[in-house]
Amino acid sequence: MKGISATLEPGHDPARNGGLLKLASIASVATAGFLIVAKLAAWYVTGSVGLLASLVDSVMDSIASVINLVAIRYSLQPPDEEHRFGHGKAEPLAGLAQSAFIAGSAVFLILHAIDRLRYPHQLEAIGIGVAVMLLAIVLTLVLLAIQRYVIRKTQSTAIRADALHYATDLLTNLSILAALYMTTLGWNWADPAFAIGVALYIFYSAFHIGHEAFQQLMDRQLPDDILEQIRATAMSHPEVFGIHDMRTRQSGQTVFVQLHLELDKFLPLTQAHAIADEVEAEIMAYLPNAEVIIHQDPMDEVHPVTP
């Protein structure tokens, strides 16, 4: 996971991306709902605290997925009179809410696992627990494949956070399988011990999700390679002597770019404006999701300013 510095693929189709975001969100909600029912039944018959950990994780995933679904639908709405820059920040807000849910579930699991270490409990019907965990692994792999594709096309913060949930689910489910097997060997401590390990990893993941969401809400600039490409695109115009005061940020699926072009001070206003329009078009050919604002600054051709 690259974090907030990631941006959209050049040449993407915003309308298609909206459909992909909705598809990933619906698939996530459906998967989480099915796994909750299966894990609840398995925990009821086995009494495994590890399965409880996985169940709580799935409940948190379902809540986060519903938040994602609502946030993404809202973020895709076009700008209106009260939100002239669009609604894109609904995505990192959803990511921030997810991190809080995930951290809360981790604390709950640690407390419950510590209690089980103090008061051991014999597990039953372990085979059912194993079967449910194997099913969960298969469904999670299918969902992750869908989410990875959507992330590659859209770089959505909300879907990236959701995918991180399910990536940790894989580790959770594998560790629970190991714990259930060790329990059959008489190592009853393995079930709560593995649950604590899972909880710590979940808490670690929550920190990264929250950090990424916070950075986007704080309008962190785009990554250096994107900045260099924007600069090179602007400088490729033969009548541009330099650029300065470039500012960038990303809000949901939209990238905002502002910069100053340094042009010959004797150019007519109409010609300077035309050059700015040409540079804007080139930048948007590289970043079709961008909103570009360009200011023209006069300067002498003999004394160009270094960009």
Residues 145 and 75 placed together within one structural domain of the fold: yes
CATH assignment of the domain containing 29: 1.20.1510.10
Residues 53 and 155 placed together within one structural domain of the fold: yes
Q: How confident is the model at residue 183 (pLDDT cuts 50, 70, 90)?
A: confident
199, 217, 235 — which closes off a domain?
Answer: 217
Which of 201, 205, 199, 206 is CA-nearest to residue 116?
Answer: 199
- Residue type, position 152, single letter: R
Total structural domains in the chain?
Answer: 2
| In a domain? residue 5 | no
Q: How confident is the model at residue 70 (pLDDT cuts 50, 70, 90)?
A: confident
Residues 79 and 128 placed together within one structural domain of the fold: yes
| In a domain? residue 6 | no
Residue 306: phi, psi to the nearest 5? -65, 130
What is the spatial distance between Cα 74 and Cα 255, in angstroms, rounded to a whole number?
A: 17
Residues 283 and 233 placed together within one structural domain of the fold: yes
217, 249, 271 — which closes off a domain?
Answer: 217
Residues 195 and 240 placed together within one structural domain of the fold: no
Residue bearing tokens 């996530």: 28
Which of 265, 268, 257 is CA-nearest to residue 297?
Answer: 265
Q: DSSP assignment, residue 237?
A: S
Q: DSSP assignment, residue 79?
A: P
| In a domain? residue 8 | no
Check residues 134 and 302 and name the one with the higher pLDDT.
Answer: 134
Instruction: Using the predicted structure, report yes or no on whether residue 191 has a pLDDT greater than 70.
Output: yes
| In a domain? residue 7 | no
Q: Write down the pLDDT at residue 301.
A: 47
Instruction: Using the predicted structure, report yes or no on whether residue 93 has a pLDDT greater than 80.
Output: yes
Pure H helices in the chain:
14-46, 49-75, 90-118, 126-154, 157-184, 190-217, 224-235, 269-286
197, 217, 237 — which closes off a domain?
Answer: 217
Longest dimension (CA), the chain: 87
Q: Give per-residue pLDDT as tens, 201-255.
A: 778 878 887 888 888 888 888 889 999 999 999 999 999 999 999 999 888 778 8
Residues 124 and 237 placed together within one structural domain of the fold: no
Q: What is the DSSP string of 267-286?
A: S-HHHHHHHHHHHHHHHHHH
Instruction: Using the predicted structure, report yes or no on whether residue 76 has a pLDDT greater than 50.
Output: yes
Q: Write down the pLDDT at residue 246.
A: 94
Residues 63 and 170 placed together within one structural domain of the fold: yes
Q: How confident is the model at residue 121 (pLDDT cuts 50, 70, 90)?
A: low
Instruction: Using the predicted structure, report yes or no on whether residue 282 has a pLDDT greater than 90.
Output: yes
CATH assignment of the domain containing 262: 3.30.70.1350
Mean pLDDT of 92-111: 80
Q: Write down the pLDDT at residue 150.
A: 85
Query: Which domain range does residue 202 map to?
Result: 14-217
Residues 145 and 272 placed together within one structural domain of the fold: no
Residue bearing tokens 């969902």: 143
Instruction: Using the predicted structure, report yes or no on whether residue 302 has a pLDDT greater than 50.
Output: no
Q: Write down the pLDDT at residue 306.
A: 47
What is the spatial distance between Cα 18 and Cα 37, in angstroms, rounded to a whole number?
A: 30
| In a domain? residue 108 | yes
Residues 204 and 76 placed together within one structural domain of the fold: yes
| In a domain? residue 132 | yes
**In the chain, what percentage of residues exceed pLDDT 90?**
19
